[in-house]
Amino acid sequence: MQLTDTHCHLDYNKFDPDRAEVIQRANESGLIRLLVPGLHHKSSKEAVQLAEQNPSVYAAVGFHPTDLDEFSESAFQQVKQLATHPKVVAIGEIGIDYYWVKEPEKRAFQREALKEQLHFAKKVNKPVVIHMREEDDAWFGQASVDLLDILTEWQSGLSGNLAEQPGVLHSFNGTLETAQKGLALNFYIGITGPVTYKNAEQKREIIRQLPLEKILIETDSPFLAPVPRRGNRNEPAFVRHIADKIAEIHSKSPAEIAVITTANAERLFAWGD
Ligand code: NI
């Protein structure tokens, strides 16, 4: 079975003791490709270095909305330079986070930084990895509204392949309506470990209504470990548990889900052999 983890933060220090083993376990568990997104210029550089050292690892580069203290002209310049690397397949993770950031002027800066990075993604013709988190972890609110506004305007200015596959709404935690608006903009929807949680019936109901050819599976390691690993450090090998749950939701076999989601990731990130 060939699986893909389209979102794992392998540069985190939680992997310092055993990073090579974690990647090896992933490969032994059938993961053929892993995407490590950057959080700022230093983490983006580490993601690129991991991609250089490991054939199955690819990188995205960018500034996460809660890491914008790091966002300066020279730091952005470094990220732009990194984006020319052949194993950088996306710009991310970028987006909006109103959970950790409450001040209106800082939220306004998030939107500006997002727009600048979207503009850059268009320029270099790469898809984007989008982070979105609402205040108080609501399913819908101002973050969804602001994000959809910005993405709608950006997507309307795209053409060709990027317009058809502009990116992924990573670790999606919104309403069905928001997911449908994302799909209408041709975005993929990233599904993470919480889909396996006992109390997540409503989330599973939303996923049941998403077309399989628009779903990506992600661990978001070291966070959001799926059942039966919940509470532990997450790692890419556990992506299998998410695939199993999606198979159950969509009445398919795990092998079918692996084939479909790995093909989805290959289309979006254009990293096929
Ligand atoms: Ni992330």
Domain parsing of the chain, residue ranges: 3-272
Ligand 1 mean position to 247 CA, how many Å? 23
Ligand 1 mean position to 223 CA, how many Å? 8
- The count of other CB atoms within 10 Å of the CB of residue 201 is 8
Integer angstrom CA distances of residue 226 from 238, 240, 261, 264: 7, 9, 18, 21
Question: CA torsion, points 178, 180, 186, 191, in degrees to nearest 10?
Answer: 70
186-241 pLDDT tens trace? 999 999 999 999 999 999 999 999 999 999 999 999 999 999 999 999 999 999 99
Ligand 1 mean position to 3 CA, how many Å? 19
The fold of the 3-272 domain, in CATH, is: TIM Barrel (3.20.20)
Ligand 1 mean position to 71 CA, how many Å? 17
- The count of other CB atoms within 10 Å of the CB of residue 55 is 12
pTM of the model: 0.97
160-187 pLDDT tens trace? 999 999 999 999 999 999 999 999 999 9
Ligand 1 mean position to 209 CA, how many Å? 24
Ligand 1 mean position to 131 CA, how many Å? 7
